[in-house]
Amino acid sequence: MAKVTLSKATFENLVKHLVEIEEGKNKLLEQYFPEPSKERHEIEKLFEDYTKHIGQLIENANKSQTTDNKVPFVTIGSEVEIQDLSDQEVGFLSSIIR
């Protein structure tokens, strides 16, 4: 993964986010997929890939006091601005996974 520059606040929020995801994944899995299944395995793999990607970003990040609070990809819990290209209308989407 290439080096990225993150604000100190964004870096700290990503570390906190990673901890929250790691702590909450087992609860989510037990609640929605209590028995071994193909679906449970797929969700476990999704969490594994997601946390690996966030971890790599944290490891490769340079911290800056002057950089904005943007992350180079959407994270669980993000609010995302979208734009309809046909009419230029802007809206927001919020993650439903908390």
Would you call 92 helix, strand, or coil by DSSP? strand
What sign results for the dihedral spanned by CA atoms 23, 63, 6, 79?
A: positive
**Tally of CB atoms within 10 A around 39:** 11
Q: Residue 94: pLDDT above 90?
A: no
pLDDT in tens, 47-92: 999 999 999 999 999 888 876 777 777 888 887 778 888 888 887 7
User: In whole numbers, what is the pLDDT of the chain averaged over residues?
Assistant: 86
Domain range summary for the chain, segments of one domain joined by +: 4-94
Distance of alpha carbon 40 from its chain centroid, rounded? 19
Under 8 Å between Cβ of 3 and 61: yes
At how many degrees (to 10) do helices 38-60 and 8-32 cross?
A: 170
